[in-house]
A and B are shown apart, each in its own frame.
Chain A
């Protein structure tokens, strides 16, 4: 399937892919609001690794065909999308079903690319959907709870080209199918 591959030779660690990813996964789709206002603050699902000077590479999910994260997830929150939600076509990306995730970090332990992030925030109970609040007590609306969710690349389901690829000024990220 088509995923995002990095080209370290032309990456200059500008981190615009991270900015684009955060914006894309925000509620407002507005960069400033996403960074400064939103709770939960969206996390970037790609990580620019960097060794100073001169080497950097943006690493995100490989959507593995035999995905260790799926195997590790006992809630089945981490799963493979069989058919695209938008077009109904065969898909194959690996995504998190957030309401099922309990933040156990089994997937983090299993992913050989280290591309799943811990998304932890203090928020309101989402109605009758208590996520995993081990620090603060209280359920239901209005109560503050600590939410733990895993967060990873979903290849931007609302776009034909992922936001990071489009944002990279140097074409250091490519969206393509390889063997």
Chain B
């Protein structure tokens, strides 16, 4: 029996740990097109900012592969999967799909290849000093050129765009961000919450341009020296970061017979349409338990969890994925911001309760459907107990009895009915 994992990040780590709980003996191989020991992707903005150091980038300690008896194949890219012969085909990074690749056999395969940044066909996107921001090497390269950079344009004011901005401003680079949507963080927040975050960004010296897009990256020689916006406005800069979003990284399995929709479609055991082949993490399209649809939800905790479920089932276990939902935490200086679940309710039956104290930078909103909490946005001072709301969403606890207290500053277990409180606090979890 041979376990093969393509990818070396959150989902892969979850899978290795789960496999080794069930099976200490059979071989596990991890393939990655990056050179690094398993590291934390979300830390690249901290690395850029100088808020963490290289030796703290790692998600597991240096003995991780050895202790778990994992063989690693780094700096190699999988270019195809042959599900009939149960083989994956590798090429050296940068070699494209031509040439005779190395072949590795498997009995159980996990696809944990995450997401790749989406880059729209902007004129000039291939110039030098144009980067995406999802990998350690992105942060490292940006750091390297940063000495000669005074001004950067970030395309996209989503989660990753904001992280890039945080890193850039921390090392003294001026930033203008250009966002197509009318608001920053438009996928994680509603308009009122976005406005608070935008104001804080502006107070921190970031120029925010919304309702607009970059149509061209201009250059001197081949090096980016500015951008042109849809409305013809020109902005000079020495660096461009494209942070529009990530899409599931599925190109290499296009012709493998594995069913792909937006991501790799998986069942509740994380198995794909091909038996013995599993997928987990940003690449997978698994259940959103709040909307009851399958969709990629690209966040770290779900990647780790899905990896664990996949690994368990690959090695004879029977863990079932109950579904997840989007959530994220981001703090632009002074505004901790947490977004959980459904934040843009469309359709019937949703009730929304809001506490807007925009003047002081505080905002809270909860969204309820069928007596259950399905979403929450928290900006500012009261994020501390956000997790209780996450728990209520996950457990689908009826909240009608205490819904008017959910937005109180002091909301807690004492706000809940006695039975519920005692049940939660009185037993081992």
Contacts and interface: CB of A to CB of B under 8 A. Distances in A.
Bound pair: A and B?
A: yes
Main SS of the interface on chain B?
Answer: helix
Given A72-B300, A110-B301, A178-B427, A59 B50 contact: no
B170 interface: yes
B320 interface: no
B414 A56 contact: yes
Query: Chain A, interface size: which category?
Result: 35 or more
A130 B51 contact: yes
Nearest to B388: A114
Contacts of A5: 425-426
A109 interface: yes
Contacts of B391: 68, 111-113
A128 B55 CA distance: 11
Nearest to B61: A76
Interface string A1-36: 101011010000000000000000000000000000
A132 B394 CA distance: 30
B166 interface: yes
B52 A179 contact: no
B50 to A, nearest CB: 6
Interface stretch (A83-91, A98-106, A153-161): A98-106
A38 interface: no
A111 B394 CA distance: 11
Interface stretch (B98-106, B282-290, B327-335): B327-335
A128 B56 CA distance: 12
Interface in B244-280: none
Nearest to B172: A137
A170 interface: no
B51 A105 contact: no
Interface string B397-429: 000000000000010111100000110111111
A55 B387 contact: no
A134 B162 CA distance: 13
B390 interface: yes
B136 to A, nearest CB: 13
Contacts of B10: 74
B88 interface: no
Interface string A52-78: 000111010011110011011011100
Nearest to B10: A74
A133 B49 CA distance: 9
B198 to A, nearest CB: 17
B69 interface: no
A123 to B, nearest CB: 14
Given A109-B340, A111-B387, A74 B40 contact: yes
B42 interface: yes
Given A177-B428, A178-B428, A108 B387 contact: yes
A112 B385 CA distance: 8
Looking at B43, B49, B166, B412, which has the most chain A CB atoms within 10 Å of its CB?
Answer: B412
B386 A114 contact: yes
Contact of B51 (A69, A111, A133, A177): A133
A30 B206 CA distance: 45
Given A6-B425, A62-B425, A112-B392, 5 more contacts: A76-B59, A105-B331, A108-B386, A113-B424, A132-B46
Interface of A: 1, 3, 5-6, 8, 47, 49-51, 55-57, 59, 62-65, 68-69, 71-72, 74-76, 99-100, 102-114, 116-118, 128, 130-135, 137, 139, 177-179
16 contacts: A5-B425, A51-B415, A59-B413, A59-B425, A72-B300, A74-B10, A102-B52, A103-B331, A106-B300, A108-B384, A108-B386, A113-B413, A114-B384, A130-B51, A134-B166, A135-B333
